[in-house]
Structure 1
Amino acid sequence: MNVAAFLEPADWFRSKGGPRYIQLRQRLSDGVTTGQLATGSPLPPEREIAAITGFSRVTVRKAIRSLAEDGVILQKQGSGSFIASRPKQMEQNLSRLTSFSEEMARRGKDATSRWLERGLFMPSADEITCLCLTNEDQVARITRLRLADGDPIAIERASLPTDILPNPLAVETSLYETLEGHGHRPVKALQKISAINLTDQDADLLATSPKDAGLQIERTSYLSCGRVAEFTQSTYRKDAYTFIAELRLAKEPA
């Protein structure tokens, strides 16, 4: 796709069509929607877009920044602006306790991971509290980038007592399948969902813009005996998931 030809203003700019940055923003957005601007493709530098359109660099910057805030464009410092990858949004039922691998398999998607950290470590203060450990204990920790059909979806940071997961290297795909093989499959969990702004590092891993909005889910999972088996903090792209929960009317007191 010849981006310069696509941005040629004679094809889309209207002198009475509203603010210039709005028209440029719409032109770029339309290109993404129709597939004329492919995912991952770079945009010309702001100065070149300004020269092509005849707009000021301030106008161009305002349009690009607006699209970056919406997750349409990904800005990488030192590398420029790119059309962002936007995975199809999925719904997840909060009443079902499943692993990421199981959830993706149920949807017919290929679940893959990129390992970021895996091993035995001294526990943090949060891990000591959540997993009922002591300062002398070690903790099994696995951190990975979770992908569905190649699209980055979430960063998952899981911590477990070492008697429940003595060898983190044994986890190849599904953590819950590994735990089930040792008789330690969690049967219930409590989850807390929070809105966050992504750190620069997490934004880079999730192929979105720094400080972009995201979702953080803290999950504390329990064995059938009531013991805490897992503490996981997962960071999701804002456009990857919609979480749903079924609510029932509480019975009136007798």
Structure 2
Amino acid sequence: MLRVEGLTVRYGPLEAARGVSFALKEGEALAVIGPNGAGKTSVLRGLLGLAKAEGRVVLDGEVLAERSPEGLLKRGLVLVPEGRALFPGLSVEDNLRLGGFHRFRKREDLRPDLERVYGLFPRLRERRGQLAGTLSGGEQQMLAIGRALMARPRLLLLDEPSLGLAPLMVREIYRILAGLKGEGVTLLVVEQNAKVALELADRGLVLEAGEVALEGSAQELRQNPKVVEAYLGLRREVEEG
């Protein structure tokens, strides 16, 4: 479905990601993990054309020479950004409807999609008229994912979906993501929380200093001594402490 070849992302003279390559099959979940500042978000931004990048992005066998956000959205690539990027002064339902804006302009009925999102996130139904800026952090993350689903994504890209959330809410968010994967939605998840990401994913990629340090199946990475010591071991100490 998606192939990224030699992706290099720069911000002025700073090289944030260097020669990153990976492939993602339809219906698969890929976790991109690594420490803060490793270049994980930069890879997403370069892939989506939100940052200056070199390298090739191939979707369904076609090289994407120009990667405008709206063009990629129409092809089914949808981002849930770090920080959620909601419209705090609009209601929950208005934020959801904006997720389907490209279909709304065609006067397509969004009600079935709203019902699907409300079915996945009953809390959003309860708060459909509430301003997005007054929601809790976990509820805002639900809304950000729900808004992305309104675009009917083939590939859902999530940037740090667990950031700042309590453990119970992290488990709930990842339960929903596992359900979406079960429905056939392809997932690319960038995460510092390696434990939950590798539990969801089929395969994983470890970035360090902007380069791919390790890659393999999620099971292989969960058993890799370096990953256990650097990422999974730390998480266990925090949870058990």
Q: Same fold (TM over 0.5)?
A: no
Q: TM tier, shorter chain? A: under 0.3
The structure, 1 or 2, with the larger RCO (C-alpha pairs under 8 Å, 6+ apart) is: 2
TM-score, length basis structure 2? 0.24
Who wins on radius of gyration, i.e. which is larger?
Answer: 1
Compare the two structures and name the one with the higher strand fraction.
1
